[in-house]
A and B are shown apart, each in its own frame.
Chain A
């Protein structure tokens, strides 16, 4: 857009000249600036309704918009816009007291009115990262006192809704009828530690400026720039001190980052890659699911397909780093072709002389769907199962086509990855939901446990139920967790000792860039 401030002709001439003459342009950032690189770039404007509908878009938006609660570095909830809160014994009434030191980026004070407004506004205009449908009424009792009345108790009230819902300024959003189309500069007036000063969609570049009046501390940097840069370029730029953070460094590049003088933090992503089964088809049978699990050699698959970039996943859904992970050991389904064969035989499958499996005289061919990212894993999986005698029809699909085929039930097995982080209520979507990366399971026993944990009245009770959930999950095997890939963030000395947020940031974004690292 800015290009045409100058006549096109000039640029054309300059380009032709530059064909002959190329010089390196020196760039030096001002002091107090932090540059974060993002390999993909544009995540949309950083306002709740218009940011990219993915974890990263959400994460960046949390720098601009505060929620009622935030997280400590160990993942536990801590006060943010709500300086304290109480929950009634029946779990239906929640009193919230607003921190009156907080101000919107335009100087207006944050009050209980704003919070109450947000609950009702999000009922009317759904914001997909915060579910407020359980709120019956949000009543303003005084300037700083808000009372929430819930329809039913919610064990995830704090770690789910209150932590993930960005509070909107009433004076801005009250008149906005279509927030999905509201991309004016006022749309990004939040109460977070940084203000969005510039956003260039085409270049995928954000410039955030410190909110000097931030109520929870002093922002560490005057400016934070988030720029689109491929890994190679980012590593070079880090060496030249032009950038400070590579937000998601491919784990296989870890050593290279260290050589470039960067610190690295490596952790499990807990975005487990799972082998899903078509429960509506032949894999409605638990024994068949077990048979497939025994026929797969996970450590071998991981060392071939992922090398050092993943480890064997826990079969009980939650992964080891999760605060909700149970201490019990879940069956690993260690590779055992004999056990697999026994289970299949019991189900009426027969192995012929050619060592292949047949049902009623017909050779078994299973259709496996996978996205491009899971190509290698799908290929190794196919090799393993074919060695065992089950032929696979592997289809690597573009994401839209994949989602379509999965929701149409046009498959036997599928490889997909989804987060296991965030409030445990996520299992309702990730195990029982209809979306493509869900296990699409409908077993009653497991469902009852998932429902029970969502209304548990104490953390201990919830943990106990979730322990049982993990036990049953690992036995029922709605999906067979294969790999837990690592994630790496590389950073220089402008920041110290970054850690991936245990349990994920807010809604469950695996990230080492929680906003608390950016505030003193």
Chain B
């Protein structure tokens, strides 16, 4: 018999492929609808000379904007099919190489923030939902409500101002010190220090979502017989919170994870820009300003592919878990 998770994986694949294909088209057309010409921006400095007609045409083709839209689309798709993301002229580097340098930084932020906001959200939510209306619930719910009302961008700027500038205990920007240490341990430590503020900013943005989810679920769970029973048997503390509340929360959390991924990947872009963090957010932001279509297409497609992939896997796992009950 085929394991149910495989069935779930397969059924989720087709719709995601369709979404991905639509996205590939969207990311081709949308930038081209923006005002501005990539070649004109590339050579906008008044120190550079004007190009003659044939020189400009040559450059246009390198930017992937020579000829009509249909011709450009054909070229873009045929390159994409063979896995060629193209070449960014302003960066003088293949898009794949730029992404290879940037994606690990973005993933680092997400990988550090995810356990933080998941655990904090779950622990806080369970604690508050176990005894709604108690002191902890009132304080925590109040605090989280305030946090939730701050837009992610503002939270990042506030954190930067507080710990990077007014009380400069943490680096205000970048991912590494000016001159990275040769000692790998010191280097890891420096990278970690630089990641603290962006990770906090990202976690703050996400924590409220999971806090309220956990709290709501915990309130319902508290009235379920198996919990009342467990409490009656004298089970409490850590075990009650993890084995009883926590385990029941797991599928709900997973399901929520899968639909909040886009939000998370969106938030990380803002956070990277605020903290001048050298991840994909920075790359995408500058590609928009430079009208570097080739890079923009490549970066968005890869990031979107990543989101869809994660969302696909989490979804399948969540569905399997939910079916198990």
Chain A residues within CB distance 8 Å of chain B: 1-6, 8, 10-12, 14-19, 22-25, 27, 29, 35, 44-45, 49-50, 52-55, 58, 126, 128-129, 131, 180-181, 183, 201-203, 205, 225, 227-230, 232-233, 236-237, 242-243, 398-401, 403-405, 407, 418-419, 422, 426, 429-430, 433-438, 507-509
Contact = CB atoms under 8 A, between A and B. Distances in A.
A35 B115 contact: no
B199 A126 contact: no
Interface in B12-60: 34-37, 40-51, 55
Given A53-B42, A202-B102, A29 B179 contact: yes
B146 interface: no
Contacts of A58: 47
B177 interface: yes
A404 B172 CA distance: 35
A25 B188 CA distance: 12
Interface in B222-267: none
Contact of A398 (B180, B195, B289): B289
Among B47, B101, B187, find the residue whose CB has the most chain A CB atoms closer than 10 A: B47
A126 B102 CA distance: 31
Given A1-B101, A4-B104, A201-B93, A54 B173 contact: no
Contact of B47 (A23, A49, A54): A54
Nearest to A5: B184
Given A3-B104, A19-B196, A202-B175, 15 more contacts: A10-B188, A12-B108, A18-B192, A24-B169, A25-B181, A25-B186, A128-B49, A180-B92, A203-B278, A233-B173, A399-B44, A400-B37, A400-B41, A404-B35, A422-B47
Contact of A181 (B92, B105, B199): B92
A27 B191 contact: no
Nearest to B104: A3
11 contacts: A1-B101, A3-B108, A3-B191, A4-B104, A14-B191, A18-B189, A230-B172, A399-B44, A400-B36, A419-B46, A433-B50
Contact of B35 (A183, A227, A237, A405): A405
A27 B177 contact: yes
Contacts of B179: 27, 29, 225
Nearest to A229: B178
Contacts, number: 187
A403 B178 contact: no
- Give the 5 A-B CB pairs with smallest separation, nearest first: A400-B36, A50-B92, A202-B278, A128-B48, A14-B192
A403 B47 contact: no
Contacts of B90: 44, 52-53
B50 A434 contact: yes
A384 to B, nearest CB: 26
A53 B178 contact: no
B192 A203 contact: no
Contacts of A49: 92
Given A12-B112, A180-B62, A203-B278, A53 B43 contact: yes
Contacts of A201: 91, 93, 98, 101
Nearest to B55: A126
Contacts of B200: 19
B107 interface: yes
Nearest to A230: B173
Contacts of A233: 172-173
Interface residues of B, number: 68
B170 A22 contact: yes
A35 to B, nearest CB: 7
Given A14-B192, A203-B176, A233-B172, A509 B40 contact: no
A429 B43 CA distance: 13
Contacts of A404: 35-37, 40
B161 to A, nearest CB: 11
A12 B191 CA distance: 10
Contacts of A422: 47
Given A27-B179, A436-B44, A129 B93 contact: no
B100 interface: yes
Interface string B150-186: 0000000000000001001110111111111100101
Nearest to B54: A126
B178 A16 contact: no
B35 A401 contact: yes
Contact of A11 (B43, B100, B188, B278): B188
Interface in B98-131: 98, 100-102, 104-105, 107-108, 111-112, 115-116
Contacts of A53: 42-45, 48, 90
A128 B179 CA distance: 33
A15 B112 contact: yes
A202 B45 contact: no
Among A8, A233, A407, find the residue whose CB has the most chain B CB atoms closer than 10 A: A233
A24 B107 CA distance: 25
B209 interface: no
B105 A202 contact: yes
A403 B195 CA distance: 37
A131 B41 CA distance: 20
A18 B36 contact: no
Contact of B193 (A25, A55, A508): A25
A128 B51 contact: yes
A454 to B, nearest CB: 13
Among B170, B174, B276, B290, find the residue whose CB has the most chain A CB atoms closer than 10 A: B174
A45 B92 contact: yes
A337 B35 CA distance: 37
A44 B44 CA distance: 16
Contact of B289 (A24, A35, A131, A399): A399
A14 B189 contact: yes
Contacts of A227: 178
A429 B48 CA distance: 9
Contacts of A23: 193
Interface in B254-301: 276, 278, 289-291
Given A22-B196, A401-B36, A403-B36, A236 B168 contact: yes
B140 interface: no
Contact of A16 (B42, B115, B165, B184): B115
A45 B184 CA distance: 26
A430 B192 contact: no
B191 A11 contact: yes
B260 to A, nearest CB: 20
Contacts of A4: 104
A436 to B, nearest CB: 6
A186 B276 CA distance: 30
A436 B112 CA distance: 45
Among B49, B115, B186, B187, find the residue whose CB has the most chain A CB atoms closer than 10 A: B49
Given A44-B92, A399-B41, A430 B116 contact: no
B45 A55 contact: yes
A205 B46 CA distance: 26
A458 B49 CA distance: 24
Contacts of A435: 40, 43-44, 46, 50
Nearest to A50: B92
B124 to A, nearest CB: 17
A201 to B, nearest CB: 7
B147 interface: no
Contacts of B76: none
B92 A15 contact: no
Contacts of A237: 178
B176 A131 contact: no
A11 B108 contact: yes
